[in-house]
Amino acid sequence: MSLSRKGVKGFPLLADFIASDPDKTTLIFKRFDRLAARNLLHLQSELARLQDALDLLDEQSRKEEGDVVKNKYYLRNWDKFVVAAESAGQEHHRLKLVKTIQDTLQDYR
């Protein structure tokens, strides 16, 4: 977009100006290194807490009495695990935890 076009003042016009610079010398943005580092530390702390919670569920599954074969099967087969997680119970809680971990890891990376 050329600067000869009338743009809306403020961010739209400034963005047009920055984008139109052929040398890209105006393309300078603050990196927020301190804030980014702090955010990563928060995410690491959250991931450590989530990992502890998942480890606790795994330990409970190892100690659980009853249908041990069923529990181990769900831990090895994602499709069966998701079906089992549709009802309330440990599998439901584990699936919610796994989804939270996935989302948090996505933010972390």
∠ Cα 35 41 43 (to 5°)? 105
Higher pLDDT, 105 or 87: 105
pLDDT in tens, 19-28: 888 888 887 7
pLDDT in tens, 34-50: 999 999 999 999 999 99
Residue 2 predicted with pLDDT over 60: no
| Residue-range domain boundaries for the chain | 1-30, 32-108
Residue 103 has pLDDT above 80, yes or no: yes
pLDDT of residue 43: 97
> Closest by alpha carbon to 50, among 14, 84, 94?
94
d(CA 77, CA 82): 9
